[in-house]
Amino acid sequence: MTKFSLTAWALRRPVTITMLFIAMLLLGAVASKLLPLEMWPGLDIPQITVQVPYQGSSPREVEREITSVLEESLATLGGVKKMRSGSNQDEAWVRMDFAWEEDIGNRVVEVRERIDSVRHLLPDDVERLLIWQFATSDAPIMTLRLSSQRDLSAAFDLLDKQLKRPLARLDGISRVELYGVEPMQIHIRLSPEKMLARGVNQHWLSSQLQQQNFVLTAGTVRTGEQLWQVSQQGEFNSLASIEQLMIRKDLLLGDIAEISFSQPEPEEGRHLNRAYAVGLDLFKESGANLVEVAERVRPVLERAQQSPQFDGIELFVMDDQAKGVKNSLNDLAQAGGIGALLSFAVLFLFIRNPLTTAIIVISVPLSIAITLGLMYLLGYSLNILSMMGLLLAVGMLIDNAVVVSESVLQQPPENRRQAVISGVDNVGLAVLAGTLTTAIVFIPNIFGVKVELTVFLEHVAIAICFSLLASLLISRSLLPLLLFKFCHFGQSAQQLESTRYRRLLSWTLSHPKTSGAMAIIILASTALPVSKVNNGDDEDGQDRLYINYQLEGRHQLEFSEAMINRMEDYLYQHQQEYGFHSIYSYYATDDIQTTLLLNDELPLPLPELKQKIAAGFPKYAFAEPVFGWQDNDNNGMRVHLRGRSTETLLELAAEVVPLLSSIDGLSDVRSDLSGGQQELLIRFDRQRLAQLELSLQQSAATVATALRGENLRSYRHDVNGEIEIRLQWPKRWQQSRAKLSQLPLGKVNGTVVTLQQVATISEQPRLNEIRHFNRQTSIAIGGNINDRDFNDLKQEIEQRLQSIAWPEGYGYSFGGGFEYQDESQALMATNMLLAVVMIYIVMAALFESLLLPTAVISSILFAITGVFWTFFITAQSMSIMAMIGILVLMGIVVNNGIVLVDQINQRKPQLETLQQAIIDAAVGRLRPVLMTVATTILGLLPLALGDTRIAGGGPSYTPMAIAIIGGLIVSTATSLLLVPYLYLILSRWRNRCAQGVSAIWQRQQQQVPNRLK
């Protein structure tokens, strides 16, 4: 039975092969249009958040009545890595982080079941429990701000009809959120004086109003052959119907209350360029093309902007995912295009034949087209990670074509068909091994332990592996066919005769002890850069600065806005000096933030600019502005203080923050919680209430309605949809403590009973929020890291923290960038070791040798040496992106060694002629080695020299590109000498071992007859 050869079959069926690759090229072209274009791959984030809105309470009460109940129930869930919670006056929330391997859909069901089991233990007035599960597709694709000098707080109908609804109707838009402006409400403002005069109890009135506004199905009525559905309507259908509602026989609601259609009281506000602003977020449907959806949005925005109703209203795009993706893709395409041109140019310089160069180069677009087709068929999306994989693969896709073409063109031209088959077969094993080793380094990341890094790296790996397998297929089928049809054998297969390289290699092989010592010295030199290169964070591109005011206490909204105005006035006085083009601010009663949107070109380096801006911050009595932390919890410095009491933790935080602020390389150190808030505590006298025959519960409900109001059933007969109905008291009862004490609770024996008669009102400090970490009370202290080694910084922080006298039961732990870097780097190091083992296994299986793969593996060690020396010289930090570069590098550097070892094996030299055979094979492989290395390096050079970033503003590709280039240069320079050297040493060692074993065996065989005698 003859052995099947893909190359021979391709030569026999040229039309079939041509049509197959044209079909795959067309599939790739179609797939490039049909593949969903997204910022990130569609992934379910392994995180579930339970949110319980509960306004008007204290953090302690919320913690006791809601948060602790939920935590105790949810603690029995399996697979929870972290549990965090918060309790404040508006809500309780519990957030659980799971492992990436978990089926998050099943976990959501389990969370819902556990919440349902303790629902009866929560306060009766808890209306809703929300369960949130996030995916990468849940982020808004576009965030808009609408600003105007005129008041937009009453512009809900305009923005809803002219902007929100037209956007929501667009194909691909799933929802549109409008915030910062509220719809009109129906306010029923009770007059306590009139209620007392008419003898109306508020609790009774509230229940009556809840019962009046209803729709109730009554069943069916049959009349002969007809069946009638009976519906009972008792809804309000106009403001007049509410005013004319008869409460008692002689009393209408309008007699004791003022009913109005008015704007709700604002709870927060926004500024854009010192004008009042409104926010708008757009979300796309799952699977929709991000860029296409964004293109549909822009005409709607332009039409709205041109409408006379929008005169004086400015539309400003704060965030645009589509723009970030397009910028990232353009940057990658530009860098990839420049790199490809440089690679093709150097390829032509080596080959000096345009036709041969074109035939080799054609493998790149074909491989990418096949990859896009496979991604489409397998349900993947085209995102910045898969584009990153394609870009990394461009320089490697030529390798197989170069090796095969060089081998084919060196064959004698007498029998062209046999020359092609022999040329491909001669390097077939080496090409297969090189492709598998390049792809196999990603196997631990695809199938191993899942963390955020490896999950996202999987999509990079898929693109690389698909494209490499496509290039392997092309090198065994289409490329030999094109070489057979168009190339002249023997004319383009000129070896790069290097006398210097031959002499140097001969000297290296002839002086094994000296060469080995030099190799050891080179490896040992790695200790110097390893000790000097910092472990750093992947810094995101800085196009904006965040200012956090660290507001103490709660203040009226007008007071918060006044602080914003002072800050904005200061910043705009130095706009040119500070290099920003816009300012966006958010303010509420307990939170204030300002965002500076920076120009592309900054007047100063960012750390110096931040210091200069901070030096002129306005001084506030109740706030201390500082720059915000780096964007997410995986960046920067985080130290979690844990213990029993939040008050004690705040005291410890006040001691820790100054200690950490004085550390060089740490900036903007602060706690995520602040004290300084005050609350009024009302303690009812139960005995006094009983004497007056007043209900404690009804009295408390009366106070709550007077201060925060009460929601009634919605009004459903407005053309704009449902309108909330609020039952409230006049605002004057909220405006002073003295007025609150005079709040009437009822009338007893003709005498009005006020709050101060049955309760004491006292002032006491209160917390803004109570945080838990893994069910233990905690506070996070964070800061930004500037040019410091993570390990050194962590040690210095630990030294400072150990100088504090920690109370019994209190301690700290590290989070943020420390935790993320430790976890990611440890996993990457483990995966690298697994990759080395898998590379060895593949080579051992293909070479049928346990020793020879060791010669090739050595190139990985010298590649890592090159990485650290390159980082030391270029002052780069060892970050996650750099480690990704090392991972890719490990699969690349062994390729040349594999081909060299395979060429030597094919010569089958005797030990006496082995050294000369090694020299001849190495010199013969010099040109293709230099060609493949040069194309890979030049393909990545634009990324190394430029500032191309993930998603346009994320981590830079530069550390990854520099790691690959530096490691590849050093590894190539050393491997050209040390791989042949180690092959010779290992072959001699193997021969000596075999001779020794043979001698021992012969002696034993000679001794056996003697013993028998």
pLDDT at residue 490 is higher than 70 = no
Q: How far is CA 413 from CA 408, 423, 590, in A?
A: 10, 11, 84
Strands 80-88 and 769-773: antiparallel
* pLDDT band per the 50, 70, 90 thresholds, residue 253: confident
pLDDT at site 22: 92
- Residue pLDDT, tens place only, 871-902: 888 888 887 788 888 888 888 888 878 878 87
**DSSP class of 232:** E
Q: Is the pLDDT of residue 641 over 80?
A: yes
3-class DSSP state of 86 = strand
Percentage of residues of the chain with pLDDT beyond 70:
94
Distances (CA, A) of 559 to 165, 210, 293, 565, 589: 34, 36, 41, 10, 8
Provide the pLDDT for residue 566: 92
- In DSSP terms, 815 is beta-bridged to 638
How far is Cα 767 from Cα 624, in angstroms, rounded to an integer?
18
At 564-616, the pLDDT tens digits run 999 999 999 999 899 898 999 999 888 889 999 888 888 888 878 888 898 88
528 has pLDDT over 80:
yes
How many DSSP H helices and E strands does the chain contain? 38, 30
Q: Which residue is listed with tokens 């506004």?
A: 213
Confidence (pLDDT) at 445: 74
Mean pLDDT value of segment 125-141: 83
Given a cut of 80, whether residue 1002 has pLDDT beyond it is: no
Please count the other Cβ atoms lying within 10 Å of the Cβ belonging to residue 385: 23
Domains, the chain, ranges and CATH?
1-34+353-486 (1.20.1640.10), 44-135 (3.30.70.1430), 185-216+234-262+678-766 (3.30.2090.10), 511-540+849-1002 (1.20.1640.10), 544-627 (3.30.70)
Q: Residue 797: which residues within 8 A CB-CB, separation 6 or more?
A: 637, 639, 660, 663, 814
Q: Is residue 844 classed exposed, middle or buried when 0-12, 13-18 and 19+ CB atoms within 10 A define those classes? A: middle
Q: How does pLDDT run across 79-99, given as a tens digit for each residue?
A: 888 898 988 888 899 999 888
Please determine, for residue 991, whether its predicted confidence score (pLDDT) is greater than 80.
no
Note the pTM of the prediction, 2 decimals. Answer: 0.76
| Per-residue pLDDT at 1 | 43
319-337 residue pLDDT tens: 888 887 777 777 767 776 7
Nearest to 436 by CA among 411, 471, 401, 486: 471
Is pLDDT of 810 > 80? yes
pLDDT at 493: 41
pLDDT at 201: 83
| For residues 548-560, average pLDDT | 83
For the chain, percent of residues with pLDDT exceeding 90: 6
